[in-house]
Amino acid sequence: MATLSSAGSGSTLNRLQPNNNQGSSSQHNISITNSNIQQTAAPFPALAGAESTDVKDSNVKAGSKELAGAARHESDDATKKRQKPQATARDTKSLDYIARTMLAGGIAGTAAKTAIAPLDRVKILFQASNPQFEKYAGTWTGVFKAGRDIQKTGGIRGLFQGNSATVLRIFPYAAIKFMAYEQYRSLLMPTRKDETPYKKLVAGSMAGVTSVFFTYPLDLIRVRLAYETKFTPYMSLVRKIYNEPGGRHRPGQTNWLTSFPISNFYRGFLCTIAGMIPYAGVSFFTHDVAQEFCREHLPQTLKPIQNRGLPDKNGDYSRPELRTWAELACGGIAGALSQTASYPLEVVRRKMQVAGAREAREFVGMLETAKRLYIAKGARGFFVGLSIGYLKVTPMVAIAFTVYERMKTLLEIN
């Protein structure tokens, strides 16, 4: 039984052996199959990852290209801006701009008036028909003879008598005049395409009227100081003018001013306004026209080296600078023409201003003063002292405009 059992178990083992072999073969096949599957399946995750990486790389590269393009575009824009920068549009209403133009104008006016102070003193004496100097009026050499007499009696100080009052008056006068002209000009002509001769004439006239309104009392005091042949303290003359009784005896249409003693400082004011309209208007108009003519037709008048700054929002650069002699020539022409246009009214104004010194109790209006002058001296009387006026005003206006243009460049007003 044992044998049988052995045999039976052996046979059983034999019978089971192939089954085991088949099982191992099956397992082997399964393992091979699995390995094949693993070998076959293994590349796919790698391929999928590669595709994903390629997509990401392509996106990154595309984004980098876009960023690089944008950077180049910004760099090109920055380069263009550096190559063709634009100035910030000037704000003509700002306090900074107003202060700069007033400072430039005040310095220009002070320099011009101080340079011709002796001629101004003699001209006032001629215009006001001062008895001591009337004999010299009407001749080209009279101004030098009058100056010699003044120098003998009062020294160099006598030639500049009244100049302190002139400086005190001319700085605010010129400051307001040039500032007002720039303001009216920017209002009437915001761009160069809007510029016309008529608008320049109007802007200049309005600027002159504005400046006279604020500074006329100082001008009257200056004229009275120049008219006095003896040295007179400034404040004592101010009190004298304030207390003059002539202001209380006015014509009917201005009788209401008798209650204002300060109106004594406005003798000849309406005449001044009437004369300032052609004077300032022709002065600014002629100067601008002469400058433009030089820039367009006379290139030899331009400075060899120009600093025109940056263009404004309209693409306009500051105008080319003229040589100093050309600036003086333009200003001189403007001064001569403006003096001729306004001189008759200036003579009437001067006589009204000194009327208080000659007859303190009488107040004579503009028309009456002009009538008396015509009766006494005829039409020629309205041009007494014109020759010295040319000698005085031509260099004065020339210096004023030239200094103002240079100050505009220095203070960066253009």
Percent of the chain with pLDDT over 90: 29
Banded pLDDT at 22 (limits 50, 70, 90) = very low
Task: Please tell me the least confidently modeled range out of 23-27, 166-170, 269-273.
Answer: 23-27
Amino acid at 174: A
SS (H, E, C) the chain: CHHHHHHHHHHHHHHHHHHHHHHHHHHHHHHHHHHHHHHHHCHHHHHHHHHHHHHHHHHHHHHHHHHHHHHHHHHHHHHHHHHCCCCCCCCCCCHHHHHHHHHHHHHHHHHHHHHCHHHHHHHHHHHCCCCCCHHHCCCCCHHHHHHHHHHHHHHHHHHCCCHHHHHHHHHHHHHHHHHHHHHHHHHHCCCHHHCCHHHHHHHHHHHHHHHHHHHHHHHHHHHHHHHCCCCCCHHHHHHHHHCCHHHHCCCHHHHHHHHCHHHHHHCCHHHHHHHHHHHHHHHHHHHHHHHHHHHHHCHHHECCCCCCCCCCCCCCCCCCCECHHHHHHHHHHHHHHHHHHHHHHHHHHHHHHCHHHHCCCCCCCHHHHHHHHHHHHCHHHHHCCHHHHHHHHHHHHHHHHHHHHHHHHHCCCC
CA distances from 210 to 31, 71, 161, 183 (A): 111, 55, 27, 11
Contacts of 264 (CB under 8 A, 6+ apart): 241, 242, 244, 246, 247, 356
What pLDDT, on the 0 to 100 scale, is given for residue 30?
A: 40
Please check the confidence at residue 91 and state whether its pLDDT lies above 90: no
Percent of the chain with pLDDT over 70: 68
What residue has token string 């028909």? 129
Please check the confidence at residue 20 and state whether its pLDDT lies above 60: no
Task: Please tell me the least confidently modeled range out of 110-114, 222-226, 355-359.
Answer: 355-359
Q: Region 206-220: what's the mean pLDDT?
A: 91
Contact of 103 with 178, CB cutoff 8 Å = no
306-315: pLDDT as tens digits = 766 556 556 6
Q: Region 49-62: what's the mean pLDDT?
A: 48
pTM above 0.85, yes or no: no
Banded pLDDT at 147 (limits 50, 70, 90) = confident
Q: Region 21-28: what's the mean pLDDT?
A: 43
The pair of three-digit structure tokens given for residue 390, joined into one six-digit string: 């040319």
Which of the two residues, 203 and 6, has the higher pLDDT score?
203
What pLDDT, on the 0 to 100 scale, is given for residue 183?
A: 95
Please check the confidence at residue 7 and state whether its pLDDT lies above 50: no
Contact of 215 with 169, CB cutoff 8 Å = yes
What pLDDT, on the 0 to 100 scale, is given for residue 66?
A: 55
Please check the confidence at residue 273 and state whether its pLDDT lies above 70: yes
What pLDDT, on the 0 to 100 scale, is given for residue 188?
A: 94
175-190: pLDDT as tens digits = 999 999 999 999 999 8
For the chain, the C-alpha Rg in angstroms (whole number) is 47
What pLDDT, on the 0 to 100 scale, is given for residue 328?
A: 96
The C-alpha atoms of residue 263 and residue 376 are separated, in whole angstroms, by 28
What pLDDT, on the 0 to 100 scale, is given for residue 252?
A: 53
Banded pLDDT at 21 (limits 50, 70, 90) = very low
Amino acid at 211: S
Q: Region 153-171: what's the mean pLDDT?
A: 83
Query: Which of 87-91, 153-157, 251-255 is predicted most confidently?
Result: 153-157
Contact of 225 with 165, CB cutoff 8 Å = yes
What pLDDT, on the 0 to 100 scale, is given for residue 26?
A: 43
Q: Region 217-243: what's the mean pLDDT?
A: 83
Contact of 395 with 280, CB cutoff 8 Å = no
Please check the confidence at residue 68 and state whether its pLDDT lies above 60: no
Q: Region 27-41: what's the mean pLDDT?
A: 44
What pLDDT, on the 0 to 100 scale, is given for residue 297?
A: 94
Banded pLDDT at 23 (limits 50, 70, 90) = very low
Q: Region 314-341: what's the mean pLDDT?
A: 89
80-90: pLDDT as tens digits = 445 445 445 56
Residue 412: half-sphere exposure toward Cβ, Cα within 13 Å: 8
What pLDDT, on the 0 to 100 scale, is given for residue 333?
A: 96
358-401: pLDDT as tens digits = 665 666 778 888 898 899 889 988 988 788 778 888 999 999 99
330-341: pLDDT as tens digits = 999 999 999 999
The C-alpha atoms of residue 400 and residue 279 are separated, in whole angstroms, by 15
CA distances from 391 to 149, 152, 339, 356, 385 (A): 19, 22, 11, 28, 10
Which of the two residues, 2 and 398, has the higher pLDDT score?
398
What residue has token string 């160069």? 192
